[in-house]
Amino acid sequence: MIITKAGRRMFPAMRVKITGLEAHQQYYIAMDIIPVDNKRYRYVYHSSKWMVAGNADSPVPPRVYIHPDSPASGETWMRQVVSFDKLKLTNNELDDQGHIILHSMHKYQPRVHVIRKECGEELSPVRAIPTGEGTYTFSFPETVFTTVTAYQNQQITRLKIDRNPFAKGFRDSGRNRMGLEALVESYAFWRPSLRTLTFEDIPGMTKQGKENVNRDLRTFGLCT
């Protein structure tokens, strides 16, 4: 995943479908991105593999992307695909634009948070997500990515240029489409995946609410 000083949108963007919320309850939807481990990586060209290159750099300031439609009712969230396509990544530790700050050549895991409004009063773009009752966190192993300032693999470069709506200037209109589609099929992260998240015991909810609290999130656009 490309990161820049000025900030670069994630592509593919994370998009989720949420069900099982209380229709009239207000919720915040937010995303943060956390390190997968405490390692720094490098790409080995002759073997086309990522290898550990040492310990991770010092932690960066916590940043949270609060979905611009927040807060909204459960009914509103459930009738739309929730997209994080406006979220931007940067490697500028002095960033004052609200972008998510990450180190290059590190592995990261995006997390989606569903937060009841009364539990999200202290929600801030520059503080860690509040924890406890009323905050539900979801992550998908398919969305783990490695940050770079330039793509390390020519196939990924071609794939992203062709699929990214913001990369029209790089496209070659005469490219062989069949060859590209074969390339796309070779990458599993383009295939949609379904995850079912079940909460058996949420304090303060009625029995009917507990029975209906299952949330199915389908990831439509997965990070690389």
Q: What is the pTM of this model?
A: 0.73
The predicted structure's pLDDT at residue 164 = 72
The predicted structure's pLDDT at residue 172 = 53
pLDDT tens readout for residues 143-173: 999 999 988 777 777 777 777 766 655 555 4
pLDDT greater at residue 206 or residue 19:
19
pLDDT tens readout for residues 59-106: 998 999 999 999 999 999 999 999 999 999 999 999 999 999 999 999
- Buried-exposed string 13-32: b where 16+ CB fall within 10 A, e elsewhere: bbbbbbbbbbeebbbbbbbb
pLDDT greater at residue 168 or residue 199:
168
> What is the CB-side half-sphere exposure of residue 33 using CA atoms within 13 A?
25
pLDDT tens readout for residues 48-61: 899 999 999 999 98
- Find, among 127, 67, 107, 63, the residue nearest to 89 by Cα: 63
Highest mean pLDDT among 83-87, 173-177, 178-182, 188-192: 83-87
